[in-house]
Amino acid sequence: MKLNKVLPILFLTMFLVMVGFGIIIPVLPFYAEELGATPTQLGLLMAVYSLMQFIFAPMWGKLSDRIGRKPVIMIGIFGLSLSFFILALSTQIWMLFLARIIGGILSAANMPTIMAYVADITSEAERSKGMGIIGAATGLGFIFGPAIGGIFAEIHLHTPFYIAGTVSFITLLFVYFTLQESLRISSNKRSRRSNLSWGNVLGGSMAMLYFLQFVISVSLSGLEATFAYFAAEKAGLDSVSLGYIFMIMGLASATVQGSMGKLTKQYGEATIIQAGIIVSAVGFGLLLFIENFTTAAIFLAIFGVGNGVIRPSVSSLLTKKSNMGHGMATGYLSSFDSLGRIIGPVIGGVLYSVAIGLPYLTGIILSVLALSLYRVYASRDTGIGSSRQI
């Protein structure tokens, strides 16, 4: 299986998955409100999806280590499609929750299994390049998906859900006909222990990498939850302007993720992770000084560049260093990411209610903490410590 032929397929698969997911983002709150959902119910509706992913991502990763990547990826995409069609047909609030729970459980298979697939087909030298391409596809899907959803919502609030379901189903067919199984050619000979638990993960040698992903996820989701209010108060920006700003951030992040192969060959994952943390912290600090659309776009893009290079590098290191199967390793990584997305908006909202700049000051503090702990971790690990350091 040639890498240059498979990576475009994985890129398109992840892009289409995230387009389908992104289509419903700007529509779901209004759709739920139309069915009578309260603000509390809307918050729970958003949180339950991440909660299901937190719980089930390791299970799907572990299953993909046993039965193969392709069937698990297809299960995840089918789950997305099914959940979107249930949303489109919902007439009561409980149906919305059912759709989100089903979608969260099944779609938890997508990200960890696709990352495990990349780990299967790449050498250690190519690993970051592959992970960066998947990250770029994710970012671009999040850019185009909400834009499509917003356009078709003007026709009818149900329309974006039907479109998202159809896009996901087409993606399912695309995977079935074009993607080959990777597990049988995997160079990963590490143990695929069935008795691995959260305790083993939290107490193991890779715990710092999981913690780092959690911190990054908390910081990003906290920013996403509060930046609209912050930008409106500091710079008078409206929802249209914010849409363009987040699009610019996404493009900046996707661009640098697409260059991960070159960056990793030149500097190594350890250096890139530390540089990403520093740039993210700088971005957080600059956000406190936004004055208009231009400064908001530039400063948020700086944050996006720093944040964007961290996960591909962490994923690459994790699959190289972990003694568990690729699917299980990336499954737990996705769980920590989902946990951060559950906690981050809550923390961000509470901090913002205390002082409008506090979420970003906290982001700087978390970045400094993460950098300090990571440097201690890297200095103790000879494999990572041998990479060029900042």
Does residue 351 register a pLDDT over 50? yes
pLDDT confidence bin for 294, thresholds 50/70/90: very high
- Show the tokens assigned to 389: 């350091």
3-state class (DSSP) for residue 82? helix
Task: Looking at the structure, tell me whether residues 41 and 152 fall in a common domain.
Answer: yes
Task: Looking at the structure, tell me whether residues 244 and 144 fall in a common domain.
Answer: no
Task: Looking at the structure, tell me whether residues 270 and 373 fall in a common domain.
Answer: yes
Is residue 133 situated within a structural domain? yes
Task: Looking at the structure, tell me whether residues 207 and 159 fall in a common domain.
Answer: no
Helices and strands counted in the chain (H then E): 17, 0
Is residue 34 situated within a structural domain? yes
Task: Looking at the structure, tell me whether residues 214 and 304 fall in a common domain.
Answer: yes
Half-sphere exposure of 300 (CA within 13 A, CB side): 26
Is residue 197 situated within a structural domain? no
Is residue 188 situated within a structural domain? no
| 116 touches 64 (CB < 8 A) | yes
Task: Looking at the structure, tell me whether residues 165 and 217 fall in a common domain.
Answer: no
Q: What percent of the chain has pLDDT over 70?
A: 91
**Considering only 4-8, 304-308, 378-382, which range has the smallest mean pLDDT?**
378-382
pLDDT tens figures, 194-225: 455 666 676 666 888 898 999 989 988 999 88
Does residue 192 register a pLDDT over 60? no
Instruction: Give the pLDDT score at 195.
Output: 53
Nearest to 50 by CA among 349, 339, 377, 269: 339
Task: Looking at the structure, tell me whether residues 161 and 237 fall in a common domain.
Answer: no
Instruction: Give the pLDDT score at 184.
Output: 67
Is residue 322 situated within a structural domain? yes
Instruction: Give the pLDDT score at 194.
Output: 47
Is residue 190 situated within a structural domain? no
- Show the tokens assigned to 288: 């406190």
- Show the tokens assigned to 104: 């969260």
pLDDT tens figures, 90-149: 999 999 999 999 999 999 999 999 999 999 999 988 999 999 999 999 999 988 998 898
Gap between the Cα atoms of 337 and 333, Å rounded? 6
Note down the domain range covering 57: 1-180
pLDDT tens figures, 228-245: 899 999 999 987 888 889
Q: What is the CATH number of the domain that holds 324?
A: 1.20.1250.20
Average pLDDT, the chain: 88
In the chain, the N- to C-terminal Cα span, in Å, equals 36
3-state class (DSSP) for residue 28? helix
Task: Looking at the structure, tell me whether residues 143 and 231 fall in a common domain.
Answer: no
- Show the tokens assigned to 385: 């410590």
Is residue 304 situated within a structural domain? yes
Task: Looking at the structure, tell me whether residues 90 and 35 fall in a common domain.
Answer: yes
Task: Looking at the structure, tell me whether residues 176 and 207 fall in a common domain.
Answer: no
Is residue 192 situated within a structural domain? no
Task: Looking at the structure, tell me whether residues 208 and 176 fall in a common domain.
Answer: no
pLDDT tens figures, 244-253: 898 899 999 9
**Considering only 83-92, 187-196, 213-222, 251-260, which range has the smallest mean pLDDT?**
187-196
Task: Looking at the structure, tell me whether residues 37 and 120 fall in a common domain.
Answer: yes
Does residue 152 register a pLDDT over 80? yes
- Tokens 């089930």 correspond to what residue? 56
- The whole-angstrom distance between residue 367's C-alpha and the CA centroid of its chain comes to 18
Nearest to 109 by CA among 70, 76, 65: 76
Q: Which residue has the higher pLDDT, 2 or 255?
A: 255
| 63 touches 72 (CB < 8 A) | yes
Instruction: Give the pLDDT score at 42.
Output: 85
Task: State the total domains in the chain.
Answer: 2
